[in-house]
Structure 1
Amino acid sequence: MINKYSNFNATMAIAKASLLSILRSPSAVVFSLLFPLIFITVFANIGGGGVTVDVGVAKGSDTLNPIYQALKKVSVVNLVTKQAAVEMQKNLEKGSLDAMIDIRKNMGKPVFTVNVKYTRASAEKGNILKSLLQSIFYQVNTGGSNAPPPVAELKQATVSGRAYKYIDFILPGQLGFSLLSTGVFGTAFVFLSLRQTLVIKRFFATPVKRYSIVLGEMIARVVFAMAGAIFIICVGHFAFGFTLIHGWVTVVNMLILSLVGLVIFMGFGFTVSGIAKNESSIPPLSNIITLPQFLLSGTFFSTSAFPKWLQPVSNALPLTHLNNAMRQVAFEGAGLGDVTHQLLILLVWGVGIYAVAIKTFKWEA
């Protein structure tokens, strides 16, 4: 009796062979696991690069007074003005904001009252702001304004909150970088190589379906990337104290986001493999896609620290939204339903890039 040919078995066989080839590839391990771990280790210990103190400005605050104008000129202070009061209070408690300021003009003396709330989640940055305000108040109240002293009064309070460590920022960015590298470089190199070595042409001489070839390669990359994601998350949590607010539930949500991001990034890889003429053209084409996202998607520093003209570019990149969703899930305890905005933008990117990939992808050299 002749056994019926199984495309499922063919797909699994292709996936197994591809996974073994990935594990034997030094470049795949280096870019997907070693580099992210090196960056995590370095930045987790040195606490990141430049310091930015995010200060929420309450609605209705007097922004024409000398206190506010002096804060605007301080380069390390980022004044956040477009958040509602409830959202600002929540962000203060969970450490997304370092402080909240409310400046009111009085009918009598002192002319201004400045109410400042700090959070224990950002004690170090709160101390920076306290020092800045003391210096500003000294200048204003000793002749820095035309009004007779005391011109301004400072009232301070502190709210409780979880400590937001730099590892909580850097790890999701490095995980996103790992997924981007795996999806783009891995996919592009493999399918170009399969075409040029006539492996795909030999597949066509067998009953195997075309979708089995693509699906097998995708499964191999998904298994490798998910294993790498679990490894990175565990190292970050147990070695450096990376926050997983809901434990393994958070890990599962991060893996689901990783899967979504990887599938989209593989679409870029399919596109590159279709455009590239030879293997030497893959790195420059892939870097055009990966390098801007690596630098501008909040991998190392918050996109709020970028110049205003650059922020729309950063906010349009898919890796930015994957990183933001990861951070909300890990530190803030958000569920997948709370990051639908980011998922929707990733979906739009996915539809667009696979439409391009279908047009450019080639089965034969």
Structure 2
Amino acid sequence: MSQRFNQVSAMLAITKASLRALLRSPTTVVFSIFFPLVFILVFGFIGSKGGTSYRIVLDKNSDTANSFVDSLKSLKNVKFLDNRNIDEIHSDLTKGRITGILKVQKATRSDSNFEYSIIFKSTSASADKYMTFLPLLENIINKIDKVRYKDQHTFAHIVPEIKNVREYRTIDFILPGQLGFSLLSASIFGVAFLFFSLRQQLVLKRFYATPIKRGYILLGEGISRVFFQLITAIVIIAIGYFAFHFTLVNGWITFVEIMILCLLALLVFMGFGFIISGVAKTESLIPLLANIVTLPQFLLAGTFFPIDVFPGWLQPISRSMPLTYFNDAMRLIAFEGAHLTDCWLQIFVLLGWGILVYSVAIKTFKWE
């Protein structure tokens, strides 16, 4: 009696062979692991140098009709941020994205030695900035005093309120973006080239001569890609954690949730690769089509810089990209202690992109 053909065993054999090919490919390993790490190092060191520019939120209850505020606004290295809600301000303060909150108010009657009280709120995340910003404020007050006061009186009194928070390092922003881009580019380029090559070399046609079903062929190749990319994600996170102190706020629980998020993102991103492999007429067309998908996200999806630094007309485009939502969810989980259940918006958008992408992939993917 002949033994029944085992579809799962055949699929696993394809997975094993494909994974071996990936691990033996220097190009795949370099672009999946080494390339993102180079960017982490370069931008991490650049970002860690600080700077002399100050991003300030002016309290909405501040008295702005005075020479102090006018002098501060005239400085080129001081930028006042508008249209901020309380949650955004708190998040940006915690991460050191803004120098602090400034409130300028008239002094009470009991404060007879000065005319204004200047309350400056900041956090330890911006320690390198507020340590130089406070002397700048004092310098402005001294200049005003020389013009307006000749005795012990002073124009204003500074009240600093510095809150200690968990340190937000450059790596906490850079690594999620680089990990996301690594998953995106490897998934799209890898899947697109793989299935185009299998079709052109008639490998898929040879599979038809075997009892294995088409779905198991896709699963076998797909599982190998997912497994390999999850390994690269583990390597990148491990190097970031042990070498650069990347924050995993809840330890191994955070790590597990990040891996689940990476798995979801990989499945979505691979859909773009299936589309490109079916649309491309020649192998030389694949890099062009893949770059059309990956390059805008590489530049605009918050990989290197927060989206809010882009012009207002560009931000809606940035917020429509799937990589943006992966990056946002990664940063929320890794640093802020959010769980997957707290990132329902980001996950919902990724799932929406997945449904859209695979709907198109089903129509465009070719077996021959």
Unpaired segments ≥5 residues, structure 1: none
How far off its partner does 1:187 sit? 0.6
1:115 match: secondary structure: strand
Q: Return the match for 1:363 from 351, 356, 367.
A: 367
CA offsets 1:271-326 (integer angstroms, 9 cap, x no match): 11111111111111111111111111222222222223322222221112211211
CA offsets 1:128-170 (integer angstroms, 9 cap, x no match): 43354345545666669xxxx9555432111011111111111
Q: How does 1:183-194 map to 2 (within 5 A)?
A: 183-194=187-198
Residue equivalent to 1:79: 81
8 Å CA contact 1:122–1:163 kept in 2: the answer is no
Unpaired segments ≥5 residues, structure 2: none
Task: Using structure 1 for the length normalisation, give the TM-score.
Answer: 0.88
Q: How does 1:253-292 map to 2 (within 5 A)?
A: 253-292=257-296
How far off its partner does 1:191 sit? 0.7
How far off its partner does 1:65 sit? 5.8
In terms of Rg, which structure is larger?
Answer: 2
- How many residues are treated as equivalent by the alignment? 359
Q: Distance in 1 between matches of 2:132 and 2:347?
A: 36
Q: How does 1:1-365 map to 2 (within 5 A)?
A: 1-47=1-47, 53-62=54-63, 70-71=72-73, 74=76, 77=79, 79=81, 81-84=83-86, 88-89=89-90, 92-93=93-94, 95=96, 97-104=98-105, 112-138=116-142, 152-364=156-368
Q: Distance in 2 between matches of 1:265 and 1:49?
A: 34
8 Å CA contact 1:55–1:80 kept in 2: the answer is no
Change (3 A) 1:137 1:303: farther
Task: Using structure 2 for the length normalisation, give the TM-score.
Answer: 0.87
Change (3 A) 1:266 1:137: farther
Q: Distance in 2 between matches of 1:170 and 1:212?
A: 37
Change (3 A) 1:136 1:92: same
Alignment identity in percent? Answer: 49
CA offsets 1:181-240 (integer angstroms, 9 cap, x no match): 111100110011111111111212222121111111111111101111111111111111
Change (3 A) 1:15 1:53: farther
| Matched residue type, 1:22 | L
| Matched residue type, 1:254 | I
